[in-house]
Amino acid sequence: MGGLQVLGRTYRHLNRYREVVSVLAKHGFGDLLHVLRLDSYLEAGLKSLLLHPPEFDVATRPQRVRLALEELGPTFIKAGQHLSTRADLLPAEYLQELVRLQDDVPVFPGEEARRMVTEDLGGPLSRHFADFKTKALAAASIAQIHEASLRDGRKVVVKVERPNIRVLVAVDLEIMGHLASLAEHHLAEWRWRKPTRIVSEIARSLDREMDLSLEASHLERFAQQFRDDPTVHVPQVHRGLSSSRILTLERVSGIKADDIAALHRAGLDPRIVAERLAHHYLSMIFVHGFFHADPHPGNLLVLPGHVIAYLDFGMTGRLDRTTRETLAEVVLALVERDEAALGRGLLALADCDEEPEPRAFEADMAELMDQYAYRPLREWRLGRILEQLLSMTAKHRVRIPAELFLIVKTLTELESLTLTLDPDFDAVSAAAPLIRRINEERLQPRRLGETLAQAGRETLKLLSSAPADLREIIRQARRGRLLIEFEHKGLETPLAALDQASNRMAYAVLLGALVIGSSLLIHAGIPPHWRGVSALGLGGFLLSALMALWLLIAILRHGRL
């Protein structure tokens, strides 16, 4: 996004921008805001807050990051939760702190929820529901839940989006986008990480989460992919009672997946629950390529017969077939301790401006695998290992797609839950047979035929479009419109220094001219006079003295004379 365009949009929300910057400064981030040059266009009262932040009690910077995000509200909390999965971007101490971010928001008035449901569904509530509880059952940053009963007596829950949440999120995302563009421009160590791209990922995630009709589609897709599995239950969607802001679902009653005592009382075996959860999630990720990405115990209910009910599909992930198969190769390379195959698989998943040096990359893979080489598989933690692998890619400036970090987050949470249910559960051994089967299926004649046919179609498409593309290049060259762009890397710092030096030189020339002009005015005795001396000349000397003082202060602030 263009810097000036973003800045223009940001100024339309200057009060909120001031609030964001004030909160960051209050929590001790004035140094960062100064580096981002925010004080160059914010009012004087705020500049003093940036340079002289108040005292704060929390000792560590990661803790202050979390507190600032919580104070800034839902959009920034969601952004922090997104970043808590990105081991390639932030050190471990920041990730551990961001995981603690809570959607601690008050419920909005039940009457407002009733009004929104009436507005979206049309007609009085009694036309659609026999009963609708005004008091919310639960509240989160995007929506809250109300209990209700249909006219035929069936129990449902109604998810209602928070009023004006889309406007608030849009404003915060514009501000976040501008801060990201400043970071990309002024922080060299963050430039390769593409902060603006990260904000775009957060924006897409929030857009999906705020569209409750999309969540309904996710539920229906998930139900379809597990239609033949009696151990999976998905709440029924009532499409006629839903909209983009309202989602009406079958109410499911069950036992929270981590409530061991309740499972035993109901005659259910926690070990079977752990096995089924692992089987379901491995199938979601490696077979179907569409997975429930929030395996919080509150979103997983155990029903009679060890059936697992999956709730809350606001956060889901997708993987195309190529990515699924490459990820399967990575996991198999881990199990077989093949660092060369592991390095190749990671690079196949990655996006990088320059490919890392192969020997150094493989050496790092081998060093990581040495940590696990002599441990039994049951002591391996698949989510943790994948997190370490992906964070290691940052050392080589290799960018990994956000969906893979969502998988790591999902697997890490799932492993924590399965180990709660069964301390001896071995996720790696559970995954290995499925992974091997996926890799073997790639070599089946039918699959090889499909791959060759796809390659043939792509080649044919390329050959058929080549003449037209060549004609277009020649036509643009004849018209003088053929442009070749060169990107110079690493020149930002010297260019900034040159720009600063030229500005100071121009300022000094202007200052010198003002001194000479004032001297000529005094020498010529140009009226009006003050005590026999030209007042204009004295004013010029006073102005030049102030300008010289300002230049000296600016130079000293940057530590250079």
The closest alpha carbon to 307, from 263, 250, 355, belongs to 263
pLDDT of residue 493: 65
The Cα–Cα gap between 351 and 544 comes to: 54
The answer to whether residue 547 sits within a structural domain is yes
The answer to whether residue 272 sits within a structural domain is yes
Q: What is the DSSP letter of 54?
A: P
Domain of residue 181: give its range: 105-191+201-251
* Residues 302, 275 within the same domain: yes
pLDDT of residue 41: 47
pLDDT digits (tens, 9 = 90+) for 142-185: 899 999 999 999 999 999 999 989 989 999 999 999 888 888 88
**Residue 105: pLDDT above 90?**
no
pLDDT digits (tens, 9 = 90+) for 312-366: 998 898 988 888 888 888 877 777 777 777 778 877 877 766 677 777 777 777 7
* Residues 513, 431 within the same domain: no
**Residue 10: pLDDT above 80?**
no
Between the two ends of the chain, the Cα-to-Cα distance in Å is 36
pLDDT of residue 237: 96
* Residues 286, 370 within the same domain: yes
**Residue 200: pLDDT above 80?**
yes
* Residues 146, 221 within the same domain: yes
Report the run of H or E that residue 386 belongs to, with start and end.
Answer: helix 382-395
* Residues 354, 446 within the same domain: yes
* Residues 214, 354 within the same domain: no
pLDDT of residue 54: 54
Q: What is the mean pLDDT of the chain?
A: 81
* Residues 97, 131 within the same domain: no
The answer to whether residue 468 sits within a structural domain is no
The Cα–Cα gap between 51 and 165 comes to: 33
Under 8 Å CB-to-CB from 281, ≥6 apart: which residues?
Answer: 291, 292, 295, 410, 411, 414
The Cα–Cα gap between 187 and 265 comes to: 57
The answer to whether residue 469 sits within a structural domain is no
**Most confidently modeled of 49-53, 184-188, 451-455, 494-498?**
184-188
The answer to whether residue 472 sits within a structural domain is no
The answer to whether residue 487 sits within a structural domain is no
pLDDT digits (tens, 9 = 90+) for 118-145: 999 988 899 999 999 999 998 888 899 9
Mean pLDDT throughout 428-437? 76
Domain total of the chain = 4
Under 8 Å CB-to-CB from 326, ≥6 apart: which residues?
Answer: 345, 348, 349
In sequence order, what DSSP letters do the residues of 484-509 get, joined into one string?
------S-HHHHHHHHHHHHHHHHHH
The answer to whether residue 467 sits within a structural domain is no
Q: Which residues are identified as catalytic?
A: 294
* Residues 514, 437 within the same domain: no
pLDDT of residue 74: 86
* Residues 234, 354 within the same domain: no
The Cα–Cα gap between 270 and 276 comes to: 10
pLDDT of residue 118: 94
Contacts 24+ apart (CB under 8 A), 31-35: 35/186, 35/187
The answer to whether residue 404 sits within a structural domain is yes
**Residue 107: pLDDT above 80?**
yes
* Residues 74, 41 within the same domain: yes
pLDDT of residue 241: 95
* Residues 268, 405 within the same domain: yes
* pTM passes above 0.85: no
* Residues 417, 284 within the same domain: yes
Mean pLDDT throughout 452-458? 71
- Where does the pLDDT of residue 94 fall: very low under 50, low under 70, confident under 90, or very high at 90 and above? confident
